[in-house]
Amino acid sequence: MVLELHIWGPAFGLPSLDAQCLAAVFYFQKSLPAGAWSLVPSSNPNVSPLGELPALRDGKTWVAGFGNIVEYLRDTSNGDHDLDRDLNESQQADSIAFSSFLESRGQPLLDLTLYVSSDNYFASTRPALADILLWPDSWFVPHLLREKAKKRSEHLGLSSLDVDTAREDKDEDVGLTAHIPKSLRKPRQTVSSLIGRNVQKNRFRLDAATADFLDPLLERLGDQKWLLGDTVSSVDCLTIGYLALLQTPQLPQAWVKEAFQKKYVKLSQWASDQTSRVLGTSHRAASPLKQQIGDRNTKSDLPWQIPPQRTSQQILYSVLESCISAMPVIGNAYKPSEISHLQGPGDLRQKKQSQLIIIQRQREVYVPVLVSTLAAVGILGVLSYKGLLLLPRPFAKPRGRDFGEAGSLLGLI
């Protein structure tokens, strides 16, 4: 059976706008033969019960996340599709350490670049998401992705790159200067000028975060062809996924790209060469109307498969899912977070898949139950308002006869 790799769609001339999705595509290109897999730009995490991309579908089995997908291919192919099979114990330890390093340092830097920075988000990232998302996902998914990116990168203390934060600072300044004579006030600044000022003010932190991520990679690469030796490994795939997204997009605030050009030329050239050689170039977003994926002039053909068009019922289901997920209590129970990893040999994976099926069925019940409940409450409310529904009233308790002091004396009620 042909494996299906579901990813976020193309953007910035790359096969995907997500680093782990790019890493998964790179891994598949290097480890699987042609015809053994297909690439589906679903751009919808709910396509799998795990609610995460990249997601691998092998028959009835779903695996999500780059690390879990690599582990699954290793276990199910007896090592034939394992790029780490030639690593010694020391290199395997380095692979684990560098994978953790890439996600802990590279992802926050990528979040700052594409999502937290208002200039970059509204000029580049938001339009790229609009090209790959269908309605109604295009309404709420970009906002959700940006909020997640802000939370992942908030420890860096660079939230002022966001225009909303700049507006709050601006309002505070206006309140403080309200009582200062106009002749002594500084010229009023626009939000754009505030953002530019915040970028300059935070440039030291931005450069430090960039160096904190790129310096170890440059040192590790050295004069080697790959990070861990003479052959490609999963760490190389993940590294190229992050580096490609950090240096390829044309952004208004391109501090990372400037760092590549000034200090990390060798690392930049290595990532660019591998990206164009393995992933190809000039990938275009899949238009919901034209259903065109990729570009005929790509140097490396990827096994693109057009995702099926969603029915009106699926669109309605997506809207209701979004509403349910936003609810404080029900939303947490609705998210498939009970199974975060689907890895492990044999029986353990089958057990987790069985649990996953049960959770998916429970989630599918929530929407009809919620719709039925809301419809019933609405109908009862309308009927009651129109006076067509008379609710029964409790009968008043009959009061006993009171004979005063005589009744009390005789015990009569």
Q: Of all residues in the chain, what percent carry a pLDDT higher than 90?
A: 41
Coil, strand, or helix at residue 194? helix
Would you say residue 22 lies in a domain? yes
* 308 or 328: which leads in pLDDT: 308
How does residue 212 score in pLDDT terms, banded at 50, 70 and 90?
Answer: very high
CA distance 125 to 12: 9
Position 173 pLDDT exceeds 90:
no
Does the CA dihedral 21-84-248-199 come out positive or negative?
Answer: positive
Would you say residue 109 lies in a domain? yes
Position 250 pLDDT exceeds 50:
yes
Would you say residue 344 lies in a domain? yes
How does residue 308 score in pLDDT terms, banded at 50, 70 and 90?
Answer: confident
Cβ atoms of 1 and 38 closer than 8 Å: no
Q: Tell me the CATH number at 14.
A: 1.20.1050.130
Copy the structure tokens of residue 153.
């990168």
Residues 223 and 352 in one domain: no
**Those residues with Cβ within 8 angstroms of residue 389's Cβ, 6 or more apart along the chain or in another chain:** 380, 383
What pLDDT, on a 0 to 100 scale, did the predictor assign at position 291? Answer: 45
Please write the tens of the pLDDT for every residue from 371-410.
667 677 777 777 777 766 665 655 555 555 555 666 565 5
What pLDDT, on a 0 to 100 scale, did the predictor assign at position 395? Answer: 55
* 41 or 291: which leads in pLDDT: 41
> DSSP of 234-263, one letter per residue?
HHHHHHHHHHHHHHSS--SS-HHHHHHHHT
Structural domain boundaries enclosing 356? 312-386
Position 271 pLDDT exceeds 90:
yes
Would you say residue 57 lies in a domain? yes
Residues 28 and 80 in one domain: yes
**Those residues with Cβ within 8 angstroms of residue 204's Cβ, 6 or more apart along the chain or in another chain:** none
Copy the structure tokens of residue 88.
């010694």
- Strongest mean pLDDT among 89-103, 170-184, 330-344, 368-382: 89-103
- Strongest mean pLDDT among 41-50, 338-347, 401-410: 41-50
Burial of 60 (0-12, 13-18, 19+ CB in 10 A): exposed
Q: How much helix, strand and coil, in percent to the nearest 5, is found in the chain? A: 60, 5, 35
* 225 or 351: which leads in pLDDT: 225
Residues 319 and 265 in one domain: no
CA distance 132 to 104: 27
Residues 144 and 91 in one domain: yes
Q: Please give the tally of structural domains in the chain.
A: 2
Residues 146 and 212 in one domain: yes
Residues 351 and 260 in one domain: no
71-80, 104-113, 199-208, range with the lowest pLDDT: 199-208
Query: How far apart, in Å, do the first and last CA atoms of the chain sit?
Result: 85
Would you say residue 411 lies in a domain? no
Please write the tens of the pLDDT for every residue from 67-87.
999 999 999 888 889 999 989
Would you say residue 289 lies in a domain? no
- Strongest mean pLDDT among 1-10, 162-171, 380-389: 1-10
Residues 365 and 242 in one domain: no
Residues 262 and 343 in one domain: no
Position 30 pLDDT exceeds 90:
yes
What pLDDT, on a 0 to 100 scale, did the predictor assign at position 101? Answer: 95
Position 4 pLDDT exceeds 80:
yes
Residues 73 and 116 in one domain: yes
What pLDDT, on a 0 to 100 scale, did the predictor assign at position 339? Answer: 38
Residues 227 and 317 in one domain: no
Position 298 pLDDT exceeds 90:
no
Coil, strand, or helix at residue 352? helix
Residues 18 and 105 in one domain: yes
Would you say residue 252 lies in a domain? yes
Would you say residue 408 lies in a domain? no
Residues 106 and 53 in one domain: yes
